[in-house]
Amino acid sequence: MNSSRVAPYEALAEIYDQVMSHVDYVRWTGFAMEVFADHGIPLAELMTAKTDVKILECACGTGTVAGLFSMQGCSVDAFDSSPAMIEVARAKGSAISRAPHFYVADFLALDAEECYDAVLCLYDSVNYLTKPGQLVDFLSRVRRALKPDGLFLFDICTEFNSRLNFSGRKEEGQGPGYHYIRRMRFYPDKMIQENQFEMGLDDRPGELICERHRQRIYTTGEIRRALKQVKLMILEETEDLDRHPPTPEALRVHFLCRR
């Protein structure tokens, strides 16, 4: 069998929704809408056409969350750096009457001025910014994209999560037309989490497709300092999808910020 290495998500996009079927995107979207509403974004008025809420989702993947926000009446722009993921997102969005505007872009290409009521960056996507300078650059771009008093919600994967769930583990899965092996490693000296995917797809017979995904694991202290540097004020810092302060055993931490 021939082996080929491709860019992150180039092949995984085809099976991403099946591989990540355990993720409760409906609950996650509900959490985001709840915290936005509690901090002044009038989501309850959307369906009565009394207001228009403009949302940007960064690193939108295959567009599930963006689509759910659109179906609630929001005007949604959403980007991802992977053309393959955006292709899947557009296909899914075609079934929505007010579909999100999906486009291909990198984190550090965000260049908008006071356009959005709220910005989202979910499922530890921020961790793909592997250098602290990139993190600060991205956060400053998000701030510029927000309207005055606009909100920014994002989350990070924690070091505790990496040590517990990503240190030398292997996962195998299969479904109609595919099988894969995922090898997970965490390098604490560099604070880098790595996922290696080896995939076999029926539409690419005789080929083993490999992808390497690398994430930088930031401490909450590093995130707070970066937010302070770009003048984004933290409104809530919470554990996973529960709105209580994160414990030392938190696997994921959400930050809700205001410009």
Question: What pLDDT is recorded for position 42?
Answer: 78
The model carries a pTM of 0.94
Which regions of the chain carry the CATH code 2.20.25.110?
A: 161-216
Question: What pLDDT is recorded for position 45?
Answer: 67
Q: What average pLDDT values come out for the chain (259 residues) when binned by 10 residues?
A: 89 95 93 94 67 92 96 94 97 90 96 94 96 95 96 97 93 94 96 96 90 97 97 96 93 97
How far apart CA 73 and CA 39 sit, in angstroms, is 18
Question: What pLDDT is recorded for position 51?
Answer: 65
Name the CATH superfamily housing domain 15-158+218-258: Vaccinia Virus protein VP39 (3.40.50.150)
Question: What pLDDT is recorded for position 44?
Answer: 67
Question: What pLDDT is recorded for position 52?
Answer: 84
Sheet arrangement for strand 252-258 = 101-104, 75-80, 54-58, 116-121, 146-157, 252-258, 233-239
- CATH class of the domain defined by 161-216: mainly beta
Question: What pLDDT is recorded for position 205?
Answer: 84
Which regions of the chain carry the CATH code 3.40.50.150?
A: 15-158+218-258
How far apart CA 49 and CA 162 sit, in angstroms, is 44
Question: What pLDDT is recorded for position 48?
Answer: 60
Distance between first and last Cα of the chain? 52
φ and ψ at 34, to 5 degrees? -65, -50
